Amino acid sequence: MDQRSASTAVRQGYMTRNRLAVSLLFLMNGFVTGSWAPKIPEFKDRLDISESVLGLLILMFGIGSLVLMPIAGGFIARVGSQKVVKVTAILLSPLLLLLTLLPNVWAAAVGMFLLGGFVGAMDVAMNANAVEVEKSMRRAIMSSCHAYWSLGGLIGAGIGGFLMARFGVLPHVLVVTVLSLVVIAIAWPMILADKPHPAATKEKLRLPMTPLPWLIGIMALFSMVPEGTVLDWGALYLRNELGASVELSGFGFAAFSATMATMRFAGDHVRDRFGAKRTLRICTVTALVGMVLAGLAPNAYLAILGFAIAGIGISNMVPIAFSAAGNMPGLQPGIGLSVATFMGYSGMLFAPSLIGFVAEHTGFAIIFASVPVLFIVVLLLSHHAHHADHAKGH
């Protein structure tokens, strides 16, 4: 987009059509993901599987995501993010409905691969489109985009348990599918039509040899593992170990998403005031306290409060890590960020499957009480967050 177009975008105000479109895409992706959280106990019971088998199915989700994410990146380089995000959003919409209709664990494994694959592929495409919108507006919008994802997760998790308890499993996924398609239809004509970047496909990918990108990648990894743990196991923990109802069990991830969304909307302002390093440290300590409370809680209500506090802390840990990764000196653009995002999403997608195996022998309470050890590592590495302050407005 040329300078005149960028200036026009700024004059249009805070919420341009392109920004609204990409925000709606984040909202829809979060809504589908959040709708999966309260469905997990029903999914497990219907297939009559153990926690370890459920862990393997969740592993298929992760494998699908990590397989399709780089494929989506290649298509984005060739045809632009607009086309890729449209296709992946359409294909993602009916997948919870498909999972509900699959008859056995083998079919469910394929369904989980597809669900994870298109959640991840759409994630890459919508983030790429958000970067293009940032450039067109000459202002940062990434934190608020991720806030809309969290808001979508809140809505999906919050209404999921209610819809299943009141109307049944099939009506729930039908509502999710229809609402997702409605959001896509609204966003469709406003999605920024960016130009493809074919030159990027000709560059040979070289992994960085210096330790800094990998250290920041560890920060992202250990910030995202707890998020995946709450998403995949929070409802089961509340229901099976703390005696929560079907409706209440969905509110663990809902509370987590609510506080995360709220703090992400404020994230840019908080970072501007306190700096990335100080903000990261405050957030990490807050997340640690919340997760310990969730793991040691004697009842579901205190555990949900713990998840809410953890959401406040985790909210800006990942954006700061990604921002630091994308602003490291001496690295070609995108290399540091690719390391951090791959490591971060690997942790969010694969660690919960391992947790399923462990929880079958230990229970989930000890898992949630132990996860905060990861936050201590983030604190030890937090001085690297100062690279996030090198980010400039677009």
Positions in the chain short of pLDDT 70: 1-13, 139-140, 197-208, 326-327, 330-338, 387-394
Give the end of a domain, one of 176, 198, 220: 198
Residues 139 and 277 in one domain: no
Residues 383 and 353 in one domain: yes
Residues 191 and 239 in one domain: no
Residues 148 and 245 in one domain: no
Q: 7 lies in a domain?
A: no
Q: 94 lies in a domain?
A: yes
Encoded amino acid at 279, one letter: T
Residues 27 and 153 in one domain: yes
Give CA separation, 351 vs 63, 178, 294, 367, in Å: 12, 31, 18, 12
Residues 336 and 358 in one domain: yes
Residues 164 and 243 in one domain: no
Closest C-alpha among 21, 31, 11 to residue 254: 31
Residues 36 and 185 in one domain: yes
Q: 272 lies in a domain?
A: yes
Residue 19, token pair as written in the block: 């920004």
Give the range of the structural domain holding residue 121, as residue numbers without chain letter: 13-198
Q: 208, 336 in Cβ contact below 8 A? A: yes
pLDDT at residue 2, as a whole number: 45
Q: 194, 290 in Cβ contact below 8 A? A: no
pTM (2 d.p.):
0.75
Dist. CA 10–CA 129, nearest whole Å: 17
pLDDT at residue 233, as a whole number: 85
Q: Report the number of distinct structural domains present in the chain.
A: 2
Residue with tokens 């990261």: 280
Q: 237 lies in a domain?
A: yes
Give the end of a domain, one of 154, 172, 198: 198
Q: 254, 30 in Cβ contact below 8 A? A: no
Q: 5 lies in a domain?
A: no
pLDDT at residue 336, as a whole number: 61
Residue 102, token pair as written in the block: 């699959």
Residues 184 and 223 in one domain: no
Residues 149 and 32 in one domain: yes
Dist. CA 178–CA 160, nearest whole Å: 14
CATH for 144: 1.20.1250.20
pLDDT at residue 73, as a whole number: 75
pLDDT at residue 6, as a whole number: 41
Residues 262 and 333 in one domain: yes
Q: 284 lies in a domain?
A: yes
